[in-house]
Amino acid sequence: MSFETILFEKKDGYAKITLNRPDVLNSFNEVMHMELRDALKSCQKDEEVRAILLTAAGRGFCAGQDLGDRAVTGDEGPRDLSQTIEKFYNPLVRLIQSIEKPVVCAVNGVAAGAGANIALACDIVYAAQSASFIQAFCKIGLVPDSGGTWSLPNLVGMARAKALAMLGDKVSATQAEEWGMIWKCVDNDALMETTEELCAQLAQAPTFGLGLIKRAMNAAPTNTMDQQLDLERDLQKMAGFSDDYKEGVNAFLEKRKPNFTGK
Ligand code: T3D
Protein backbone atom coordinates (compact mmCIF):
# COMPACT_ATOMS: atom_id res chain seq x y z
CA MET A 1 0.00 0.00 0.00
CA SER A 2 1.39 3.43 -0.80
CA PHE A 3 0.24 6.66 0.79
CA GLU A 4 0.92 10.40 0.69
CA THR A 5 0.71 11.29 4.39
CA ILE A 6 1.54 8.07 6.22
CA LEU A 7 4.13 5.31 5.89
CA PHE A 8 2.94 1.72 6.06
CA GLU A 9 5.02 -1.42 6.42
CA LYS A 10 4.37 -5.01 7.41
CA LYS A 11 7.05 -7.08 9.12
CA ASP A 12 7.41 -9.94 11.60
CA GLY A 13 3.64 -10.40 11.86
CA TYR A 14 2.76 -6.80 12.66
CA ALA A 15 2.07 -3.58 10.77
CA LYS A 16 3.80 -0.28 11.45
CA ILE A 17 1.95 2.92 10.60
CA THR A 18 3.91 6.18 10.74
CA LEU A 19 2.10 9.52 10.54
CA ASN A 20 4.21 11.48 8.09
CA ARG A 21 3.50 15.20 7.99
CA PRO A 22 6.42 16.25 10.22
CA ASP A 23 6.46 19.92 9.09
CA VAL A 24 3.12 20.46 10.84
CA LEU A 25 3.87 18.03 13.69
CA ASN A 26 1.77 15.37 11.92
CA SER A 27 -1.47 17.28 12.45
CA PHE A 28 -4.48 15.84 10.67
CA ASN A 29 -5.74 16.96 7.30
CA GLU A 30 -8.49 15.03 5.50
CA VAL A 31 -6.05 12.99 3.42
CA MET A 32 -4.22 11.75 6.53
CA HIS A 33 -7.55 10.84 8.13
CA MET A 34 -8.57 8.80 5.09
CA GLU A 35 -5.20 7.13 4.68
CA LEU A 36 -4.91 6.22 8.36
CA ARG A 37 -8.42 4.78 8.28
CA ASP A 38 -7.66 2.71 5.16
CA ALA A 39 -4.41 1.41 6.68
CA LEU A 40 -6.09 0.45 9.96
CA LYS A 41 -8.98 -1.26 8.15
CA SER A 42 -6.55 -3.29 6.08
CA CYS A 43 -4.77 -4.34 9.30
CA GLN A 44 -8.11 -5.29 10.82
CA LYS A 45 -8.88 -7.65 7.92
CA ASP A 46 -5.38 -9.01 7.30
CA GLU A 47 -4.80 -12.26 9.21
CA GLU A 48 -1.04 -11.87 8.77
CA VAL A 49 -1.20 -8.69 10.87
CA ARG A 50 -1.42 -9.70 14.54
CA ALA A 51 -0.43 -6.37 16.12
CA ILE A 52 -0.31 -2.74 15.00
CA LEU A 53 2.30 -0.12 15.84
CA LEU A 54 1.26 3.53 15.48
CA THR A 55 3.99 6.17 15.57
CA ALA A 56 5.03 9.32 13.75
CA ALA A 57 7.88 10.95 11.88
CA GLY A 58 9.98 13.88 13.06
CA ARG A 59 10.03 15.57 16.44
CA GLY A 60 6.29 15.42 17.16
CA PHE A 61 3.73 12.64 17.40
CA CYS A 62 0.59 14.54 16.35
CA ALA A 63 -0.68 18.09 17.01
CA GLY A 64 -4.34 17.20 16.41
CA GLN A 65 -6.34 19.00 13.77
CA ASP A 66 -4.31 20.91 11.14
CA LEU A 67 -5.31 24.43 12.10
CA GLY A 68 -4.09 25.64 8.70
CA ASP A 69 -7.39 24.21 7.42
CA ARG A 70 -9.37 26.09 10.06
CA ALA A 71 -8.49 29.76 9.49
CA VAL A 72 -11.62 31.80 10.19
CA THR A 73 -11.85 34.87 7.94
CA GLY A 74 -14.40 37.67 8.16
CA ASP A 75 -16.25 36.53 5.02
CA GLU A 76 -17.00 33.00 6.14
CA GLY A 77 -19.56 31.92 8.66
CA PRO A 78 -18.45 29.65 11.50
CA ARG A 79 -17.67 26.06 10.57
CA ASP A 80 -19.73 23.24 12.08
CA LEU A 81 -16.97 21.20 13.74
CA SER A 82 -19.34 18.37 14.59
CA GLN A 83 -19.08 17.35 10.94
CA THR A 84 -15.37 16.51 11.08
CA ILE A 85 -15.80 14.85 14.46
CA GLU A 86 -18.58 12.68 13.05
CA LYS A 87 -16.84 11.98 9.76
CA PHE A 88 -13.24 11.50 10.89
CA TYR A 89 -12.27 11.67 14.57
CA ASN A 90 -15.03 9.54 16.08
CA PRO A 91 -14.78 6.79 13.45
CA LEU A 92 -10.99 6.72 13.93
CA VAL A 93 -11.23 6.21 17.70
CA ARG A 94 -14.02 3.66 17.28
CA LEU A 95 -11.92 1.80 14.72
CA ILE A 96 -8.87 1.65 17.02
CA GLN A 97 -11.09 0.35 19.81
CA SER A 98 -12.88 -2.20 17.63
CA ILE A 99 -9.81 -3.83 16.06
CA GLU A 100 -9.49 -7.03 18.09
CA LYS A 101 -5.69 -7.02 17.91
CA PRO A 102 -3.28 -5.08 20.13
CA VAL A 103 -2.69 -1.52 18.95
CA VAL A 104 0.60 -0.21 20.37
CA CYS A 105 1.35 3.50 20.23
CA ALA A 106 4.91 4.82 20.24
CA VAL A 107 4.61 8.50 21.11
CA ASN A 108 7.84 9.94 19.76
CA GLY A 109 7.23 13.61 20.64
CA VAL A 110 4.53 16.09 21.55
CA ALA A 111 0.96 14.75 21.32
CA ALA A 112 -1.52 17.63 21.41
CA GLY A 113 -5.27 18.01 20.99
CA ALA A 114 -6.80 15.06 19.16
CA GLY A 115 -3.25 13.73 18.74
CA ALA A 116 -3.01 13.15 22.49
CA ASN A 117 -6.39 11.45 22.73
CA ILE A 118 -5.82 9.22 19.70
CA ALA A 119 -2.63 8.01 21.39
CA LEU A 120 -4.58 7.36 24.61
CA ALA A 121 -7.18 5.37 22.65
CA CYS A 122 -4.51 2.79 21.76
CA ASP A 123 -4.09 -0.33 23.88
CA ILE A 124 -0.48 -0.08 25.05
CA VAL A 125 1.12 3.36 24.98
CA TYR A 126 4.86 3.93 25.17
CA ALA A 127 6.32 7.43 25.08
CA ALA A 128 9.84 8.71 24.53
CA GLN A 129 11.37 10.60 27.47
CA SER A 130 11.10 13.88 25.53
CA ALA A 131 7.45 13.35 24.52
CA SER A 132 4.54 15.14 26.15
CA PHE A 133 0.75 15.20 26.18
CA ILE A 134 -1.26 18.42 25.92
CA GLN A 135 -5.03 18.82 25.99
CA ALA A 136 -4.58 21.87 23.76
CA PHE A 137 -8.28 22.29 22.98
CA CYS A 138 -9.01 24.82 25.74
CA LYS A 139 -6.31 27.15 24.35
CA ILE A 140 -8.44 27.71 21.24
CA GLY A 141 -11.86 27.58 22.90
CA LEU A 142 -12.61 23.93 22.14
CA VAL A 143 -13.59 20.84 24.12
CA PRO A 144 -11.40 17.71 24.27
CA ASP A 145 -12.51 15.27 21.60
CA SER A 146 -11.43 11.89 20.23
CA GLY A 147 -12.62 10.31 23.47
CA GLY A 148 -10.52 12.50 25.78
CA THR A 149 -13.37 13.36 28.16
CA TRP A 150 -13.94 9.61 28.58
CA SER A 151 -10.41 8.21 28.58
CA LEU A 152 -8.75 10.88 30.73
CA PRO A 153 -11.01 10.52 33.81
CA ASN A 154 -10.73 6.74 33.44
CA LEU A 155 -6.96 6.83 33.22
CA VAL A 156 -5.95 9.57 35.65
CA GLY A 157 -9.10 10.36 37.69
CA MET A 158 -11.53 13.25 37.48
CA ALA A 159 -9.47 15.83 39.41
CA ARG A 160 -6.50 15.56 37.06
CA ALA A 161 -8.67 15.15 33.97
CA LYS A 162 -10.59 18.37 34.60
CA ALA A 163 -7.48 20.40 35.36
CA LEU A 164 -5.64 19.08 32.31
CA ALA A 165 -8.62 19.81 30.06
CA MET A 166 -9.24 23.30 31.45
CA LEU A 167 -5.62 24.43 31.79
CA GLY A 168 -4.07 22.69 28.79
CA ASP A 169 -0.89 22.06 30.80
CA LYS A 170 1.83 19.92 29.29
CA VAL A 171 2.20 16.47 30.89
CA SER A 172 5.69 15.03 30.48
CA ALA A 173 6.11 11.39 29.46
CA THR A 174 7.54 10.63 32.92
CA GLN A 175 4.53 12.20 34.63
CA ALA A 176 2.17 10.38 32.25
CA GLU A 177 3.72 7.07 33.27
CA GLU A 178 3.58 7.95 36.99
CA TRP A 179 -0.11 8.85 36.69
CA GLY A 180 -0.98 5.67 34.75
CA MET A 181 -1.94 7.68 31.67
CA ILE A 182 0.41 5.54 29.59
CA TRP A 183 2.12 2.19 30.03
CA LYS A 184 5.80 3.22 29.90
CA CYS A 185 8.19 6.07 29.29
CA VAL A 186 11.50 4.99 27.73
CA ASP A 187 14.70 6.69 26.57
CA ASN A 188 14.28 8.47 23.24
CA ASP A 189 16.79 6.18 21.55
CA ALA A 190 15.05 3.05 22.86
CA LEU A 191 11.48 3.89 21.77
CA MET A 192 11.40 2.31 18.33
CA GLU A 193 13.41 -0.78 19.22
CA THR A 194 11.32 -1.40 22.35
CA THR A 195 7.97 -1.02 20.62
CA GLU A 196 8.99 -2.96 17.51
CA GLU A 197 10.24 -5.85 19.68
CA LEU A 198 6.99 -5.73 21.64
CA CYS A 199 4.90 -5.89 18.45
CA ALA A 200 6.94 -8.81 17.12
CA GLN A 201 6.35 -10.55 20.47
CA LEU A 202 2.61 -9.77 20.36
CA ALA A 203 2.48 -11.19 16.82
CA GLN A 204 3.41 -14.59 18.31
CA ALA A 205 0.76 -14.35 21.04
CA PRO A 206 -2.76 -15.85 21.07
CA THR A 207 -4.28 -13.01 19.00
CA PHE A 208 -7.88 -14.21 19.27
CA GLY A 209 -7.63 -14.27 23.07
CA LEU A 210 -5.95 -10.86 23.17
CA GLY A 211 -8.80 -9.49 21.07
CA LEU A 212 -11.31 -10.84 23.59
CA ILE A 213 -9.31 -9.26 26.45
CA LYS A 214 -9.52 -5.93 24.62
CA ARG A 215 -13.29 -6.35 24.20
CA ALA A 216 -13.74 -7.08 27.91
CA MET A 217 -11.54 -4.19 29.07
CA ASN A 218 -13.23 -1.72 26.73
CA ALA A 219 -16.65 -2.75 28.06
CA ALA A 220 -15.65 -2.51 31.73
CA PRO A 221 -16.00 1.25 32.42
CA THR A 222 -19.69 1.27 31.48
CA ASN A 223 -20.62 -2.18 32.81
CA THR A 224 -21.58 -3.15 36.33
CA MET A 225 -19.55 -5.90 38.03
CA ASP A 226 -22.49 -8.21 37.40
CA GLN A 227 -22.55 -7.46 33.67
CA GLN A 228 -18.81 -7.83 33.50
CA LEU A 229 -18.95 -11.28 35.16
CA ASP A 230 -21.45 -12.39 32.50
CA LEU A 231 -19.28 -10.95 29.74
CA GLU A 232 -16.20 -12.76 31.09
CA ARG A 233 -18.16 -16.03 31.12
CA ASP A 234 -19.21 -15.56 27.47
CA LEU A 235 -15.75 -14.52 26.30
CA GLN A 236 -14.10 -17.39 28.20
CA LYS A 237 -16.42 -19.78 26.38
CA MET A 238 -15.19 -18.37 23.06
CA ALA A 239 -11.55 -18.42 24.18
CA GLY A 240 -11.91 -22.02 25.36
CA PHE A 241 -12.95 -23.10 21.85
CA SER A 242 -9.89 -21.48 20.24
CA ASP A 243 -6.98 -23.37 18.69
CA ASP A 244 -4.60 -21.30 20.78
CA TYR A 245 -6.15 -22.42 24.06
CA LYS A 246 -5.69 -26.05 23.02
CA GLU A 247 -2.11 -25.32 21.97
CA GLY A 248 -1.39 -23.35 25.17
CA VAL A 249 -2.56 -26.17 27.46
CA ASN A 250 -0.80 -28.89 25.43
CA ALA A 251 2.44 -26.90 25.32
CA PHE A 252 2.28 -26.38 29.10
CA LEU A 253 1.71 -30.08 29.76
CA GLU A 254 4.42 -31.09 27.28
CA LYS A 255 6.81 -28.53 28.80
CA ARG A 256 7.50 -26.83 25.45
CA LYS A 257 7.09 -23.35 23.98
CA PRO A 258 3.61 -22.86 22.52
CA ASN A 259 3.19 -22.16 18.81
CA PHE A 260 0.16 -19.88 18.69
CA THR A 261 -1.51 -19.28 15.34
CA GLY A 262 -3.75 -16.45 16.54
CA LYS A 263 -6.92 -18.50 15.95
O1 T3D B 1 -11.43 21.22 13.72
C2 T3D B 1 -12.05 20.19 13.87
O3 T3D B 1 -12.36 19.47 12.91
C4 T3D B 1 -12.40 19.74 15.25
C5 T3D B 1 -11.39 18.83 15.80
C6 T3D B 1 -10.39 19.27 16.55
C7 T3D B 1 -9.33 18.37 17.04
C8 T3D B 1 -8.14 19.10 17.58
O9 T3D B 1 -7.12 18.48 17.66
S10 T3D B 1 -8.27 20.73 18.06
C11 T3D B 1 -6.63 21.09 18.68
C12 T3D B 1 -5.70 21.46 17.54
N13 T3D B 1 -4.33 21.45 17.96
C14 T3D B 1 -3.77 22.44 18.66
O15 T3D B 1 -4.41 23.38 19.06
C16 T3D B 1 -2.28 22.35 18.90
C17 T3D B 1 -1.55 23.44 18.13
N18 T3D B 1 -0.13 23.31 18.27
C19 T3D B 1 0.53 23.71 19.38
O20 T3D B 1 -0.05 24.15 20.35
C21 T3D B 1 2.01 23.58 19.34
O22 T3D B 1 2.44 23.47 18.03
C23 T3D B 1 2.53 22.36 20.15
C24 T3D B 1 2.34 22.61 21.64
C25 T3D B 1 1.84 21.08 19.72
C26 T3D B 1 4.05 22.19 19.88
O27 T3D B 1 4.70 23.43 20.13
P28 T3D B 1 6.19 23.63 19.61
O29 T3D B 1 6.64 24.97 20.11
O30 T3D B 1 7.01 22.46 19.96
O31 T3D B 1 6.10 23.64 18.00
P32 T3D B 1 5.53 24.81 17.08
O33 T3D B 1 6.64 25.72 16.69
O34 T3D B 1 4.31 25.41 17.66
O35 T3D B 1 5.07 23.95 15.79
C36 T3D B 1 6.02 23.49 14.83
C37 T3D B 1 5.38 23.69 13.46
O38 T3D B 1 4.20 22.89 13.40
C39 T3D B 1 4.94 25.15 13.26
O40 T3D B 1 5.06 25.42 11.88
P41 T3D B 1 6.24 26.41 11.36
O42 T3D B 1 6.15 27.68 12.12
O43 T3D B 1 7.52 25.65 11.67
O44 T3D B 1 5.99 26.54 9.90
C45 T3D B 1 3.46 25.08 13.64
O46 T3D B 1 2.69 26.08 12.99
C47 T3D B 1 3.09 23.71 13.09
N48 T3D B 1 1.91 23.17 13.82
C49 T3D B 1 1.88 22.72 15.08
N50 T3D B 1 0.62 22.32 15.38
C51 T3D B 1 -0.11 22.54 14.28
C52 T3D B 1 0.70 23.10 13.28
N53 T3D B 1 0.23 23.42 12.08
C54 T3D B 1 -1.08 23.20 11.85
N55 T3D B 1 -1.93 22.67 12.77
C56 T3D B 1 -1.48 22.34 13.98
N57 T3D B 1 -2.35 21.77 14.87
Q: For residue range 51-95, list pLDDT tens digits in order.
A: 999 999 999 999 999 999 998 776 778 899 999 999 999 999 999
Domain that holds residue 217: 207-253
Q: Are residues 113 and 176 in the same domain?
A: yes
Is 116's C-beta closer than 6 angstroms to any atom of ligand 1?
Answer: no
CA angle 128, 133, 139 (to 5 degrees): 150
CA angle 205, 208, 210 (to 5 degrees): 60
Q: Are residues 145 and 30 in the same domain?
A: yes
Q: Are residues 147 and 40 in the same domain?
A: yes
Summarised one tens digit per residue, pLDDT across range 159-186 is 999 999 999 999 999 999 999 999 999 9
Q: E strands within 108-172?
A: 110-112, 124-128, 132-134, 170-172
Q: What atom of ligand 1 comes closest to residue 64's alpha carbon?
A: 9
10-residue mean pLDDT series, the chain (263 residues): 94 97 98 98 98 98 96 80 98 98 98 98 98 98 98 97 98 98 98 98 98 97 97 98 98 98 97
Is 114's C-beta closer than 6 angstroms to any atom of ligand 1?
Answer: yes
Q: Which residue's CA is the nearest one to ligand 1's atom 55? A: 66
Give the span between the Cα atoms of 196 and 186, in whole angstroms.
13
Q: Are residues 135 and 21 in the same domain?
A: yes
Q: Are strands 170-172 and 132-134 parallel, antiparallel or unpaired?
A: antiparallel
Ligand 1 centroid from CA 62, angstroms: 8
Q: Are residues 87 and 199 in the same domain?
A: yes
**CATH value at residue 248:** 1.10.12
Q: Are residues 22 and 34 in the same domain?
A: yes
Q: Are residues 180 and 119 in the same domain?
A: yes
Is 7's C-beta closer than 6 angstroms to any atom of ligand 1?
Answer: no
CB-based contacts of 81: which residues, under 8 Å, 6+ apart? 142
- What SS3 state is found at 24? helix
pLDDT given at position 200: 98
The reply to whether the predicted model has a pTM over 0.85 is yes
Q: Specify if 258 maps to a domain.
A: no
Q: Specify if 51 maps to a domain.
A: yes
Per the structure, how many domains does the chain have? 2
Is 231's C-beta closer than 6 angstroms to any atom of ligand 1?
Answer: no
Q: Are residues 198 and 225 in the same domain?
A: no
Q: Which residue's CA is the nearest one to ligand 1's atom 6? A: 65
**CATH value at residue 60:** 3.90.226.10
pLDDT given at position 4: 98
pLDDT given at position 72: 78
Is 67's C-beta closer than 6 angstroms to any atom of ligand 1?
Answer: yes
Q: Specify if 240 maps to a domain.
A: yes
- What SS3 state is found at 176? helix
pLDDT given at position 118: 98
Is 63's C-beta closer than 6 angstroms to any atom of ligand 1?
Answer: yes
Q: Which residue's CA is the nearest one to ligand 1's atom 11? A: 113
